[in-house]
A and B are shown apart, each in its own frame.
Chain A
């Protein structure tokens, strides 16, 4: 059975801290890995990673994929209270289920 595991499940940091969120996966026929940010509404797309070792960056957020060790990390530097959200990792496979989600990491950034 395809599986995506995120850690930690929750995290509380102070503004200005740097955080690293982890996502490991065990799936058959991996295609891509996606990171989403979810506040009170729908998940908002952050990154799609398909190749190992290529860092994707967007402002203070960055992410990288390791297809040999089957994991990805999402880094957030100089965190702000607006970064407080659930961060979802999902894997696209060639199987029937289009997206296999992890349970998410709930990040709380306190002033």
Chain B
């Protein structure tokens, strides 16, 4: 079983809503990630936090706002999303920095539908 926990598992939101996706890991990992995955496509990187600092933002629109309150938690705040933002949002973590060759473990994902 994955040790990266994501909530909620499913979320339906309107284009004017504000909601958050949450991710938690207790493996002592110091790097955490948000990926977005559309149907029949591989995951696409959105953000990377390394030692609780944002180290990569892959040109993601500002309607997605990440937050890393501490080394175990990662949030993704959502506001004014568009229907095309509907996707599976995956959180992941790894032992250290992304370039150290550490395995990246994924949570089960949050299925987001924007109506």
User: A-side interface residues toward B, CB under 8 Å?
Assistant: 29, 31-32, 34, 36, 41-45, 48, 50, 88, 90, 92-99, 101-104
Contact = CB atoms under 8 A, between A and B. Distances in A.
Contacts of B90: 42-43
Contacts of B106: 36, 42-45
A31 B101 contact: yes
Contacts of A99: 43, 45, 98, 104
21 contacts: A29-B99, A31-B99, A34-B103, A42-B88, A42-B90, A42-B106, A42-B109, A44-B2, A45-B105, A92-B99, A92-B101, A93-B99, A94-B99, A95-B99, A97-B56, A98-B45, A98-B99, A99-B45, A99-B104, A103-B41, A103-B42
B73 to A, nearest CB: 18
A4 to B, nearest CB: 9
A34 B101 CA distance: 10
B37 to A, nearest CB: 9
A96 B42 contact: no
A18 to B, nearest CB: 25
Q: Which of A34, A93, A99 has the most CB of B within 10 A?
A: A99
